[in-house]
Chains A and B, each alone.
Chain A
C-alpha cells in the first residue's frame, strides 16, 4: 500500500531483536519520550500557536477564533473544530488532497482529547445563547513525520490552545462584535496523550517511524491532570487483556513527564 513507508526488513529485524532484549534502536528507555521541545507563539497572525518537536517529528498548530452561530443541537456551547493535515512535505507517503482516513482519525483523536478531557469550558464561550458564540478552530499540521504523529498533533494543539487569547466581545443593538481587548481562553483541564507500541512482546512509549512500522500493536491513551483516562484509541494490531492494563500504567507515567515539559513553557498548566 502506498500509505506505508518501506522500512528495510533488516531494520525491522534489528528493532524486534533489540525489543526482545528490552532495548531500543535509538538507545532510549522503554518508557521514555524522545527529547520534546515546545515553542509558543510562533505564528503571530494566529490567536494562538505552537511548534512541537518530538525527536525528529514536528507538528505545528494554530488556533483561530471567530464569532458565529452555535450548532442547533447545542445552543449553549461554543464551537470547537479540529482539523489535522498530514502535509505532503512531511513524508514521502503523504499526498496532496483532502484528508485521508489517517488524517481524519488523528483529527478525531485530537478533538476527543480536548473535548472529553474537558479542556475548554465551552459554555463560557457563549455570547448570546443560540445566536452568537465563539468558534474555536484548531488546525494541526504535521510537518515532519518520524513516527508518533498522534502525540505530536495532540501536544501541538493543546499548547496552541494554552497559548491562545481571544478578543473580548461586546453586544450592542442585539449584535455581537469583537473588540481589541484580549482575554485568555476558559481553560479548565490539561489533557495529554501518550502512544504505546508492542514490539516482540515489549511495550514502548513514543515509537519512532521505524518502530511504528515494526509494531505489532499500537494504542494511544489520554489523561487529564488528575490522572483520569479521557481518551483511548487502539489503532494497530491486537492487544492481550493484560497488556491493556500495563499500557495504561506506562502511558500515565509518560503523560505526567510530558506534562512537565508543557509546564516549562506554560507555568500555569497543571
Chain B
C-alpha cells in the first residue's frame, strides 16, 4: 500500500503476527488464548449457567456478564489489581460487543460469564480480548449468529494505520477500536479517541473492516484445526 514504515518495520496496513489457541483451560466451559504481537490475552467462558444472585436472571433470555481485567504484571509499571474506571468501561463495551452475536433467547434464566484477563499489554488489548472471547464462546458451544472479530485502527504520524502497538497508541493522534460480525457486516463496537476528519474516518473504518476479515479467517482456521484434531482422535479409537 505504501512504503511508510512504522517503528517495528510494519507497513501501515500490516497486522502484527497473531496466534490463537482454544480449549486451553480445563475447568472453563470454553477458553481461548491470543497473542497479537506482544499483547497476550487469556479468556474463559462459563455458562450458560444458573444466575447468582438469582434476581438478576431474566425470564426470556440469558444475560451476559463480562470482566475485563489487566494483570498487575501486564504493564510497564505495576498496575494495581483493583479495577480502574477504564476496566469498568471496557468490561461493559466488550460485553455488549459479544452479547449482540449470542443467541441469548435460547437460554432463559441463565448467565454467560466471560472473563478477559490481559497477561501482557502492548496495545489493542480490548480488541484481542473480543477476538479471543468470541473463540471461547464458540469453544463453549454457545450458538452465535456470527463470530465477532476486532481490531484497532488509528492515525499515527499523519497516516491511518492498523493494529497499533502500545507505543503507537501513546503517540497517536487518534485510536479507534472496531469490532464486527464480518459475515453479517455489522459493527458491534466502535469507539474513537482523538480527532479524525470524516474522510480519515472512512479510510480508517475501511482498513478496520479489511483487518477484521483477515482476523476472522484466522479465527475460523483455529476452530477448524481444533475440531479436526478431535475428529482424528475419535476415529483412531
Point out residues on A near B: beta carbons under 8 Å: 1-2, 101-102, 104-105, 107-108, 112, 116-118, 219, 224, 227-241, 244-245, 248, 252
Q: How far is the CA of A1 from the CA of B184 in the complex (A)?
A: 28
- Would you call B195 and A238 a contact (CB within 8 A)? no
- The stretch that binds A, out of B14-22, B31-39, B85-93, is B85-93
- Would you call B58 and A116 a contact (CB within 8 A)? no
Contact A231 to B193, CB < 8 A, known contacts A107-B85, A241-B209: yes
Nearest B residue to A240 via CB reads B186
State how many angstroms separate the Cβ of A206 from the closest Cβ of chain B: 20
Residue pairs across A and B with Cβ atoms less than 8 A apart, 12 shown, are A1-B56, A105-B88, A108-B89, A118-B195, A224-B195, A229-B197, A229-B201, A230-B194, A236-B96, A238-B184, A239-B187, A241-B186
Q: Which residues of A contact B202 (CB under 8 A)?
A: 245
Q: How far is the CA of A244 from the CA of B187 in the complex (A)?
A: 9
- Would you call B198 and A112 a contact (CB within 8 A)? no
Q: How far is the CA of A1 from the CA of B185 in the complex (A)?
A: 29
Q: Which residues of A contact B58 (CB under 8 A)?
A: 1
State how many angstroms separate the Cβ of A148 from the closest Cβ of chain B: 18
Q: Which residues of B contact A228 (CB under 8 A)?
A: 195-197
The binding surface of chain A is classed by DSSP as: mixed
- Would you call B63 and A231 a contact (CB within 8 A)? no
State how many angstroms separate the Cβ of A244 from the closest Cβ of chain B: 6
Q: Does B176 contact A (CB under 8 A)?
A: yes
Contact of A101 among B92, B186, B188, B190 (CB under 8 A): B92
Contact A234 to B201, CB < 8 A, known contacts A116-B193, A116-B194: no
Contact A112 to B89, CB < 8 A, known contacts A1-B63, A238-B187, A241-B187: no
State how many angstroms separate the Cβ of B110 from the closest Cβ of chain A: 14
Q: Does B192 contact A (CB under 8 A)?
A: yes
Q: Which residues of B contact A102 (CB under 8 A)?
A: 92
**Max chain B C-beta neighbours (<10 A), residue from A101, A117, A118:** A101
Q: Which residues of A contact B196 (CB under 8 A)?
A: 228-229
Q: Does B116 contact A (CB under 8 A)?
A: no
Q: Which residues of A contact B197 (CB under 8 A)?
A: 227-229
Contact A239 to B186, CB < 8 A, known contacts A1-B56, A229-B201: yes
Q: Which residues of A contact B192 (CB under 8 A)?
A: 116, 229-233
Q: Does B181 contact A (CB under 8 A)?
A: yes
Nearest A residue to B186 via CB reads A238
State how many angstroms separate the Cβ of B212 from the closest Cβ of chain A: 11
Chain B positions 82 through 102: 1 when the CB is less than 8 Å from some CB of chain A, otherwise 0: 000110110111001000100
State how many angstroms separate the Cβ of B93 from the closest Cβ of chain A: 7
- Would you call B100 and A229 a contact (CB within 8 A)? no
- Would you call A244 and B91 a contact (CB within 8 A)? no
State how many angstroms separate the Cβ of B131 from the closest Cβ of chain A: 17
Contact of B190 among A112, A234, A240 (CB under 8 A): A234
Chain B, range 142-184, C-beta contacts under 8 Å to A: 174, 176, 181, 184
- Would you call A116 and B186 a contact (CB within 8 A)? no
- Would you call A108 and B187 a contact (CB within 8 A)? no
State how many angstroms separate the Cβ of B62 from the closest Cβ of chain A: 12
- Would you call B187 and A230 a contact (CB within 8 A)? no
Q: Does B191 contact A (CB under 8 A)?
A: yes
Q: Does B138 contact A (CB under 8 A)?
A: no
Q: Which residues of B contact A108 (CB under 8 A)?
A: 85-86, 89
- Would you call A233 and B186 a contact (CB within 8 A)? no
Q: Does B42 contact A (CB under 8 A)?
A: no
Nearest A residue to B56 via CB reads A1
Nearest B residue to A108 via CB reads B89
**Max chain B C-beta neighbours (<10 A), residue from A102, A241, A248:** A241
State how many angstroms separate the Cβ of A93 from the closest Cβ of chain B: 14
Q: How far is the CA of A244 from the CA of B129 in the complex (A)?
A: 23
Leading 7 A-B pairs by shortest Cβ distance:
A232-B192, A238-B186, A101-B92, A104-B88, A234-B190, A239-B187, A228-B195
- Would you call B85 and A104 a contact (CB within 8 A)? yes
Q: How far is the CA of A79 from the CA of B211 in the complex (A)?
A: 36
Contact of B201 among A224, A238, A248 (CB under 8 A): A248
Q: Does B115 contact A (CB under 8 A)?
A: no
Q: Which residues of A contact B209 (CB under 8 A)?
A: 241
- Would you call B185 and A240 a contact (CB within 8 A)? yes
Nearest B residue to A231 via CB reads B192
Q: Which residues of B contact A248 (CB under 8 A)?
A: 198, 201
- Would you call B189 and A234 a contact (CB within 8 A)? yes
